[in-house]
Amino acid sequence: MERHAGGTARPITRYGTPVLHRRCAPVTVFDDALAALVADMFASMYAAHGVGLAANQVGVDARIFVVDCPDATGAHTIAHVVNPVLHLPEHRELVTDTEGCLSVPGQQADLARSATAAVTGVDLHGEPIRLDGTGTLARCFQHEVDHLDGLAYVDRLPVKQRKQILAASTEHPGVGVSAREGN
């Protein structure tokens, strides 16, 4: 796939906003509004210099994510997945690596994730798709599906570490466009 064009960058929703902390609603309507949302999500991800973005990170309660992320070989996958289902191997090799989040700007922490992951779902037209990931791409799939299930990476950290990261993040001005720029 090529780099996604078009769309309007939207403000990134910060940790603590209710839409980030509940399971997102399945997408049932495949129309121009959905296509526009996906284009806006790509624009928002690129404006914030991210490698993945879930719909609730732009304030939308819908099970969609976008990625532009390298796998273990360095090859980039640029894709969107509607109503994704995460598939992890039965016998997982865990890899600990640094992870950050556009909704928790300016902070990172080490977190163990499966070295491989796949997602199934549908595209903008309701056609089935499957993506397989290794390396950062596998981490990205797990991170974005977590978002759609109401979890941020910091929710997987010990409480004391989570509180420290969230406190430090409140001092960060944020990433991407501000609410004033986005309106």
Please compute the mean of the pLDDT values over residues 84-111 and round it to a whole number. 95
Please compute the mean of the pLDDT values over residues 121-130 and round it to a whole number. 97
Between CA 70 and CA 50 the distance in angstroms is 12
Q: Which residues make Cβ contacts (< 8 Å) with residue 151, sequence separation at least 6?
A: none
Average pLDDT, the chain: 93
pLDDT, tens only, 21-41: 999 999 999 999 999 999 999
pLDDT, tens only, 48-63: 999 999 999 999 999 9
Q: Which residues are catalytic?
A: 144
pLDDT at position 177 is 74
Segment (H or E) for 19: none
Amino acid (one-letter) located at 124: L
Is the pLDDT at 181 greater than 50, yes or no? no
Q: What percent of the chain has pLDDT over 90?
A: 89
Say how far residue 44 (Cα) sits from the centre of its chain. 11
Is the pLDDT at 136 greater than 90, yes or no? yes
Would the pTM of this model clear 0.85, i.e. be above it? yes
Segment (H or E) for 70: strand 64-70
Say how far residue 159 (Cα) sits from the centre of its chain. 22
Amino acid (one-letter) located at 41: M
Please compute the mean of the pLDDT values over residues 95-112 and round it to a whole number. 96
Taking Cα atoms as reference points, which of 134, 129, 100 lies closest to residue 117? 134
pLDDT at position 6 is 84
pLDDT, tens only, 62-92: 999 999 999 999 999 999 999 999 999 999 8
